Amino acid sequence: MINKTFIIIIFICLIQFFSNNSYTVEPDEVLENQKQELRARDISKNIRCMVCQNQSIDESNAPLAKDLRILIRNKIKEGNRNEEIYKFLTDRYGDFILLKPPFKLSTLALWFLPFIFFIIGVLIVFSHNKKSRKI
């Protein structure tokens, strides 16, 4: 019995996880052109809500997030490319507004240190195993 409810709970959690449940984009914001709207959603998902900081503006109800969503849609309508929109935002709010840190010289350590640590870890494990086998 316990097992069954447990499975149901997990199942519900998984549904939540896989469904793309974003209801924050308000109807009046949505662009008529579907292709443009999809582009806007795509960009919004990569932009951090500066007020809540761990949500994207696509998920956030904060007024600033709404302003930025509308701004992105206006820029798309004006014919700006995605890179231009990202640049517009990072010029004003810095790289922090991107949820994914950009790949730059100053962020090299951020991107590569995990791999380096992983390699070091593997080396330690292997050298340790070798030694213990000899004994």
**Site residues, another protein (CB under 8 A):** 50-51, 53, 63-64, 67-68, 71, 90-94, 96, 131
| Minimum distance from residue 91 beta carbon to another protein (Å) | 7
| Minimum distance from residue 55 beta carbon to another protein (Å) | 13
The smaller minimum CB distance to another protein, of residues 2 and 135, is found at: 135
| Contact in structure between 131 and 123 (CB atoms under 8 Å) | no
| Minimum distance from residue 17 beta carbon to another protein (Å) | 28
The smaller minimum CB distance to another protein, of residues 94 and 112, is found at: 94
d(CA 76, CA 95): 21
The smaller minimum CB distance to another protein, of residues 5 and 54, is found at: 54
Backbone angles phi, psi at 47, to 5 degrees: -105, 130
| Contact in structure between 59 and 24 (CB atoms under 8 Å) | yes
CA Rg value for the chain: 22
